[in-house]
Amino acid sequence: MQRPWESAVPGPQGPPSAWSLLPDELEALGCPGHPPSLFGALQRPWTWQGGAPRLGRASRAWLEGACDLHLPRIADRAESGDGTVKLALELADGLRVETVHMPRDLNHPRVTLCLSSQVGCALGCAFCATGAMGIQRNLGAGEIVAQVLLAMTALGPSNPSQLTLVFMGMGEPLHNLEAVHRAIRLLAHPAGLGLPMRRITVSTAGLVAGIDRLAGLHPRPWLAVSLNAGTDGLRDQLMPVNRAHPLADLMAAVRRWKLKPREKLTFEYVLLGGVNDRPADAEALVQALGEFRHRHNLNLIPMNAHPGSPFGAPEGDRVEGFAAILKAQGCFVTLRKSRGRDVGAACGQLVGKAGRDG
Ligand code: SF4
C-alpha cells in the first residue's frame, strides 16, 4: 500500500521562477549581461526598490520572457509580544504558507527564519495543525527562496551573516527534497546570500530514504530529527510515519549520516501534557537516543495548543522533571521557549489559514 508521503506531490505550475535558477542556469537559458550579477541583484533584497529587484531594461525584458517574475504577496502579518512575526504569504495560485521570523531577542540583530516547504503536509502527526490540513502541494525552490527574501526585505536582517534558517515550518522538507535542496544551493551561492551550511537546518519527522538521500548531497545542511516518543508504540500513535520507519530504522539512518567536524545533530521532542511527558517517557527517550545523547542537542518544546487539538501543554513541573532525568543521563538538553504562541506562530501551529482566498 502506498503511503501518502510516498506519492508524488505536484509543485507550482508554469515557467520557472526567476528565483529558482542558479547563475549557470540563467546563462544556459540565454540571459544577457553577466548572469552572476543578475543573480546577485535578484537575491539581495536590501538593494531592491518598491519590493522588486533593480534590473537593467534588457535583463528585465529577458527575464519577463523566459521566467516567472512573480513573488508571493505578504497577505498577513501577526506580531507577537516576544518579537516573533508570522508572515502569511499568498502564492501565485492563491494558496498560502507561513514563515516565522524570530529575532534572538527584541533588540538583537540575529534572526532565525522558520521556513515552509509544502502547503500542508502528508505526514499527519497527531499534534500538528499543518498535518491536519493534509497535503495540497509542494513549494517550488523559488517559493522557498522567496520566503527568505521577503522576510529580509520586510523585517531584516539586511546582513545575511545574521541569518539562520530552519526548515521547520509547514510540510516535511524531505518529502519535497528536490526543491528544498535547490533552494539551499541558491541561498548558499556566493553570488547571492552565501549562507554557510551550519546556518541551515533541515528537520525531518523521519523519512529514512530522504535522510539517506540528503546525506549524499552537496552542499549538505545540518540535520534535525523530530522524535516526540522513545518507543515505537507511542510514536506510532503520534507520528504515523513511524509505522513505516520505526525508531530502529530511523536511528540507523541517523548513524549513517557522516558528521563533519563541529557538526551537531539536533533531536526535537514536543512535550504533550499527560501523553509523553512522564518519567518513563524520559527514560525511553534516553534509550532511543543511545550514544547520540552525549554529543548532540536535544530540544524540548512544550506543546502549543491549537484549536481542535486533543493535546495540551505539559505542566511546568513536568517539564523540569523531564529535563532533569535527561540531563542526569548526560543529554545536552535545551528547553525551548515557545516563540510566537500568542499569534499561532509556534511549533505545530502553522496552518496557512484560508488556504485560498475567497
Ligand atoms: S509535525 Fe512536521 S511532519 Fe508532522 S504533520 Fe506537522 S509539518 Fe508534517
The stretches in the chain having pLDDT less than 50 are 354-358
| CA–centroid distance, residue 86 to ligand 1 (Å) | 18
Query: Which residue owns the Cα nearest ligand 1 atom 4?
Result: 125
Tell me how far the alpha carbon of residue 167 lies from the centroid of ligand 1, in angstroms: 11
Question: Alpha-carbon Rg of the chain, whole angstroms?
Answer: 20
Ligand 1 center to residue 36 CA distance, Å? 36
Tell how far the Cα of 171 is from the centroid of ligand 1, in angstroms.
Answer: 6
Q: What is the pLDDT of residue 168?
A: 96
Of all atoms in ligand 1, which is nearest to the CA of residue 124?
5
Element (H, E) at 319: helix 316-328
pLDDT digits (tens, 9 = 90+) for 288-317: 999 999 999 999 999 988 788 899 999 989
Among the listed residues 67, 90, 98, 128, the single catalytic one is 98
CA-nearest of 231, 141, 230 to 188 is 141
Whole-number Å distance between alpha carbons of 138 and 175: 8
CB 87 within 8 A of CB 98: yes
Tell me, what's the pLDDT at 356? 35
Residue 155 backbone dihedrals phi, psi, to 5 degrees: -135, -5
Distance in Å, CA 255 to ligand 1 centroid: 22
**Ligand 1 pocket: which of 3, 116, 128 to mutate (most atoms within 8 A of CB):** 128
> Which of 130, 203, 236 should be mutated for ligand 1, with most atoms under 8 A from CB?
130
| Probe target for ligand 1 pocket from 166, 172, 228, 304, with the most ligand atoms within 8 Å of CB | 172
Find, among 222, 283, 286, the residue nearest to 251 by Cα: 286
Judge if the upstream peptide bond of residue 15 is cis by omega within 30 degrees of 0: no
| Residue 205: per-residue pLDDT | 97
Residue from 9, 125, 202 whose mutation best tests the ligand 1 pocket (most atoms within 8 A of CB) = 125
Strand ranges in the chain using DSSP code E only, listed in sequence order: 73-79, 85-90, 96-103, 111-114, 118-120, 135-138, 163-167, 200-204, 222-226, 266-271, 297-302, 332-335
Residue whose C-alpha cell reads 527562496 in the numeric block: 145
pLDDT single digits (tens) 311-342: 999 998 999 999 999 999 999 999 987 677 77
* All domains in the chain, ordered by first residue: 17-69 (no CATH), 71-343 (3.20.20.70)
**Cell representation of residue 35:** 548572469
Atom of ligand 1 nearest to the CA of 204: 3
Q: Please give the C-alpha separations between residue 80 and each of 83, 105, 264, 308, 352, in angstroms, as whole numbers.
A: 6, 12, 30, 22, 17
Q: Whose CA is nearest to atom 5 of ligand 1?
A: 131
pLDDT of residue 105: 80
Which of 114, 121, 128, 347 is labelled catalytic? 347
Cα gap 355→346, rounded to integer Å: 19
pTM: 0.95
User: What's at 279, amino acid-wise?
Assistant: P
> Can you give the pLDDT at residue 355?
39
Task: Report the atom number in ligand 1 closest to the C-alpha of 129.
Answer: 6
pLDDT at residue 354 in the model = 47
Distance 130 CA to ligand 1 centre (A): 6
- Name every protein residue with a CB atom under 6 angstroms from any ligand 1 atom: 121, 123-125, 128, 130-131, 170-172, 205
Residue 111 corresponds to which amino acid? V
320's CB contacts (< 8 A; 6+ apart) are none
Distance 126 CA to ligand 1 centre (A): 9
C-alpha closest to that of 268 among 317, 304, 224: 224
Q: Is 347 a catalytic residue?
A: yes
Please confirm, yes or no, whether 98 is among the known catalytic residues.
yes
Alpha-carbon distance of 118 to 307, in angstroms, equals 21
Atom of ligand 1 nearest to the CA of 118: 7
